[in-house]
């Protein structure tokens, strides 16, 4: 069996941030679709996006526009009593979280966990005191 030659990937030609922004808007903020259209890998395009606040803004604007379209479509579907709401619901639950479309509440624990106003250690000590009485050190 003949050995396969390794594929050579050619480096994509440099695309301007303006053209990347246009591709991101056209793809509704989907980096993979925009990358494919530009001849980039998703990771290469994402690396460019992370370095440019303008491109990050393009993604945010495109996704906000998509949420606007989904809300508009949702209103039309609800007015028409159309039961096909799956795709609209998906967009609003994933990209529309900041607008309140969610089934669950996300809790940020970056400030530390507190139970009933106490740290976990204080809570545990209080629980032990309630169950077996105060622990005294001799």
Q: Tens digits of per-residue pLDDT, 109-126?
A: 666 655 556 677 777 777
**CA distance linking residue 55 with residue 15, whole number of Å:** 13
- List the one residue out of 8, 9, 39, 34 whose CA is nearest residue 21: 34
**CA distance linking residue 20 with residue 38, whole number of Å:** 8
**CA distance linking residue 78 with residue 52, whole number of Å:** 39
pTM over 0.85: no
Query: pLDDT tens digits, residue range 58-111?
Result: 999 999 998 888 888 877 876 776 656 777 777 777 777 777 777 766 666 666
Query: Given pLDDT bands bounded at 50, 70 and 90, which one contains residue 37?
Result: very high
């Amino acid at each position: 069996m003949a050995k396969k030659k390794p594929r050579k990937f050619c480096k994509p030609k440099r695309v301007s941030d303006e053209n990347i922004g246009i591709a991101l808007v056209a793809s509704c903020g989907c980096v993979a679709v925009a990358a494919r259209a530009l001849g980039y890998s998703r990771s290469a395009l994402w690396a460019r996006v992370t370095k440019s606040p303008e491109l990050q803004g393009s993604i945010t604007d495109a996704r906000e526009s998509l949420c606007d379209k989904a809300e508009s479509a949702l209103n039309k579907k609800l007015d028409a009593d159309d039961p096909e709401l799956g795709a609209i619901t998906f967009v609003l639950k994933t990209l529309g979280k900041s607008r309140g479309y969610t089934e669950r509440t996300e809790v940020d624990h970056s400030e530390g966990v507190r139970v009933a106003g106490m740290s976990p250690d204080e809570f545990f000590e209080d629980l032990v005191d309630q169950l077996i009485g105060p622990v005294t050190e001799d």
